Amino acid sequence: MIDTAFHHSWLFVLVWGLIATAIMSTVTEGAQMLGISRMSLPFLFGTMFASSRHRAQVIGYILYSLGGLVFGLVYVGVFYTLDYSSWWFGALMGFLHGLFLITVMLPTLPYVHPRMATDYDGPTSRRRVEPPGPFGLHYGRLTPTITVLAQALFGLVLGIAYAH
Q: Per-residue pLDDT tens for 34-65?
A: 999 999 999 999 999 998 989 999 999 999 99
User: 3-state class of 118 per DSSP?
Assistant: strand
What whole-number distance in Å separates Cα of residue 97 and Cα of residue 6?
A: 26
Quick: pLDDT tens for 86-96: 999 999 999 99
Per the DSSP assignment, residues forming a β-bridge with 122 are 118
160, 12 Cβ separation under 8 angstroms:
no
Domain segments of the chain as ranges: 6-163
With a cut of 60, say whether residue 113 has pLDDT above it.
yes
How many residues comprise the chain?
164
Counts for the chain of helices (H) and strands (E), in that order: 6, 0
- For range 60-89, the mean pLDDT: 94
59, 49 Cβ separation under 8 angstroms:
yes
Q: How far is CA 134 from CA 1, 74, 110, in A?
A: 40, 26, 11
